[in-house]
Structure 1
Amino acid sequence: MRRERRPYYIRRLQGAWVRFQTKHFLVPAFDEAGPGLAVSSPRNVEVFGGNIRIGTCVHLNAAVGNMIRLCTWTTDGREGRITLGDYVLVSPGTHIVASESITIGSNTMIASGCYISDSDWHDTYDRTRELDKHAPIVIGENAWLGVRVIVGKGVTIGENSIIGAGSVVTKDIPANCIAAGNPARVLRQLDPERPIRKRSELFAEPERIEQDMDRLMRYLLRENTLWGWLRSVFFPTRED
């Protein structure tokens, strides 16, 4: 589709259905889930295992064919843990898998297709067991992982740091820098004189933002009709 063809009330109904799915099917899968959880496609979010906690206003932007997976495993009596802080953004296709502990700080942004795992899952010589091939991951507040970043076991990424697309992070990255490569290395420092706006600022007045977005959608979709939408679904043309 080249444009949004749904009538305003259809979009509202579909939005209500997504919120129901999120609250009824997804939220109970977490040990804790703060208010304001927004999920674009609840059926494409997989939460497996216990000890998975998320904070306030977390956004899980899954998509068809690009599932988000948050998984913990129990190995040798040890159960993994995943903790996402407030205002975290997780984009389509990202997998976060914990054998021990993965902590992601508030305001962190994770782009599409990232893989974060605190374990190698198999020993180098004993391919039947994990043994000691695991170590906690800590991603600091307001970090930003680019598309298809891989974060390996035992890594700490400092607050505000940016990891370039396609990077493989195998060693600690300090705070307030830009790093990239395979393995990732620091390219430059962020300017300490320039302030950084965080995602939390988007939610300073959540009710007002919701009202503004609703008015915007009502305006943008004002000319859409039920027939026009159905026609675009079943008999699309280049105009759609």
Structure 2
Amino acid sequence: MTNVPPASPADPPVINLADAPGERAAWDRPLWQVLAWSVVELVLVTNPWQISSALRVAALRAFGAKIGHQVVFRPRTRVRFPWKLSIGHRSWIGEGVWLHNQARITIGSDVVISQESFLTTGSHRHRRDMALITRPITIGDGAWVTSRAMVLGGTTLGRSVLVRPMSVVQGSFDANSVVSGNPATTVGRRFNHAPSGRYARDT
């Protein structure tokens, strides 16, 4: 082991992680159920084989997820705690998506979460003791979180928000916004009003 010189008074403090509070407060379930889900997730959900999406959804529901009809769950997905997941109807969860939901993640209907995106509700008290902090994520109907975006705890995406690839998103974003960047900001509108007053769509 490398010897670490003692800190001087001018050095920033270091939090001793051996004293950090554990994360089990976020489980909301007994140990056996958390372990059982870990096995089922590995075999049926995270599994890269193109097994039935319906089977993945059935496994998630069996462990408490609230999932509507015609939801598509692609391979290599991960869900930390299915009992803290709600998804509306007809939504698509792309390959490699990780829903790290130590607090509740609520996804509306007709939502697309594209490949390799990461939604995480957890963080830590980084100035004190590294204790776990959790905040929920809410995604409105019709939203599209595109490939490899990161959505952080405390985020609310309004109806039909579009998040561009590789964006890091935290905060509240109004309906119909296009969101981009790190940190993400609103850069436009997804649908424009036509002269009729209705929203124009791609031709």
TM-score range, shorter chain: 0.5 to 0.7
Q: Which residue of 2 aligns with 1:208?
A: none
Q: Which runs of 4+ in 1 moved over 2 A?
A: 26-32, 192-197
Name structure 2 gaps, 5 residues minimum: 1-49
Alignment equivalent of 1:194, drawn from 181, 196, 199: 199
1:144 aligns with 2:153: no
Q: Which structure has more RCO (C-alpha within 8 Å, separation ≥ 6)? A: 1
Structure 1 residues 86 and 154, CA gap change in structure 2 (3 angstroms)? same
Structure 1 residues 27 and 107, CA gap change in structure 2 (3 angstroms)? closer
Counterpart mapping for 1:1-240 below 5 A: 18-19=51-52, 22-23=54-55, 26-31=56-61, 50-62=63-75, 67-72=76-81, 81-120=84-123, 122-124=124-126, 125-127=128-130, 129-130=131-132, 133-189=133-189, 190-192=191-193, 193-194=198-199
Secondary structure of 2:187 counterpart? strand
What is the letter of the counterpart of residue 103 of structure 1?
A: T
Find the aligned partners of 1:153 and 1:184 in 2 and give their Cα distance: 14
Deviation at 1:194, TM superposition (A): 2.5
Name structure 1 gaps, 5 residues minimum: 1-16, 33-49, 74-79, 198-240
Find the aligned partners of 1:116 and 1:18 in 2 and give their Cα distance: 23
Find the aligned partners of 1:68 and 1:116 in 2 and give their Cα distance: 12
RMSD: 2.3
Higher helix fraction (1 or 2):
1
Find the aligned partners of 2:201 and 2:69 in 1 and give their Cα distance: 20
TM-score (norm 1): 0.56
Find the aligned partners of 1:142 and 1:171 in 2 and give their Cα distance: 18
Secondary structure of 1:29 counterpart? helix
Secondary structure of 2:199 counterpart? coil
Find the aligned partners of 1:168 and 1:142 in 2 and give their Cα distance: 19
Find the aligned partners of 1:92 and 1:155 in 2 and give their Cα distance: 22
What is the letter of the counterpart of residue 125 of structure 2?
A: D
Find the aligned partners of 2:57 and 2:73 in 1 and give their Cα distance: 12
Deviations 1:53-104 (A, max 9, x none): 2111011122xxxx1011218xxxxxx6111111111111100021221100
Deviation at 1:172, TM superposition (A): 1.0
Find the aligned partners of 1:109 and 1:89 in 2 and give their Cα distance: 5
Alignment: residue pair count: 147
TM-score (norm 2): 0.65
Find the aligned partners of 1:161 and 1:155 in 2 and give their Cα distance: 12
Find the aligned partners of 1:173 and 1:99 in 2 and give their Cα distance: 22
What is the letter of the counterpart of residue 100 of structure 2?
A: V
Secondary structure of 1:31 counterpart? helix
Find the aligned partners of 1:95 and 1:30 in 2 and give their Cα distance: 14
